[in-house]
Structure 1
Amino acid sequence: MNTQTFQALADPHRFQMVELLRQAPLTVGELAARLDLKQPQASKHLRVLSDAGLVELRPQANRRICHLRPEPFEALDDWLTTFRQLWQGRFDRLDDYLQQLQPPAPDAPSDDQGETP
């Protein structure tokens, strides 16, 4: 897992940029306007996102179109999957334990019914 991903997403403006780019590619100017930033500020944040591999900027005439790159997010999801598996196992064990603590239902047969010594 690349720690640069976390560092890039830790800034609120960069995180908001990623959220906006999830919906659709945007120009640098559009991102700046939506986040109420000056264009140089937006460009600085986009450079950090680009250096982390999260965003790709493609020139189109005199504009730069920003796109999210899926690979870093897939790597992040793979990393998080290990924690999901860990916690799912713990929740399953907790569920089993809680089931053991539950009293049997009144109409449920007990283990010793129907057996003759």
Structure 2
Amino acid sequence: MRRDVFQAIADPTRRAIIGMIAAQPQNLNSVADKFAISRPAISKHIKILTECGLIVINQQGRERFCEAKLAKLNEVSHWVEQYRQFWNAKLDSLEIYLEELQRKEATPLKNKRTAKRKK
């Protein structure tokens, strides 16, 4: 099955694993010890993260260490950025519209005050 980085970060446990090993590479047992789920479940999460390219596993003697490779998260960052720009543009338009409404509401009041003073 072809997995992508979006599938990897969709699960909160996988996001927690990424955050944990991003700070420092850790062996598989250390990772598993930090979660209240079974080791097979952790192994499945690690497998998904490996398939997505977010972590690599290095053998050091009898230990297997997980190391974060976060470059793939740039794909997520680029995807999010396009929506950030979209919403910023929408909010900027809304701000301009609201400012125009405020100006239009303020203008009749000024005209009424000026008209009363002239009488």
TM-score (norm 2): 0.74
* Contiguous gaps of at least 5 residues in structure 1: 105-117
| Matched residue, 2:88 | 88
Greater Cα radius of gyration, structure 1 or 2: 2
Aligned length: 103
Q: Which has the higher helix share?
A: 2
Q: Distance in 2 between matches of 1:91 and 1:24?
A: 39
1:42, CA displacement in angstroms?
Answer: 2.0
Amino acid across the alignment from 1:58: N
| Matched residue, 2:64 | 64
Amino acid across the alignment from 2:24: A
Moved more, 60-69 or 85-94: 60-69
**Match runs of 1:20-99 below 5 Å:** 20-99=20-99
1:3, CA displacement in angstroms?
Answer: 6.3
Q: Distance in 1 between matches of 2:62 and 2:40?
A: 15
| Matched residue, 1:107 | none
Q: Which consecutive aligned stretches of 4+ in structure 1 deviate over 6 angstroms post-superposition?
A: none
Amino acid across the alignment from 2:65: I
Does structure 2 retain, via aligned residues, the 8 Å contact 1:28–1:39? no
| Matched residue, 2:112 | none
Structure 2 SS opposite 1:102: helix
Q: Distance in 2 between matches of 1:85 and 1:100?
A: 23
* Contiguous gaps of at least 5 residues in structure 2: 107-119
Does structure 2 retain, via aligned residues, the 8 Å contact 1:55–1:66? yes
Amino acid across the alignment from 2:43: S
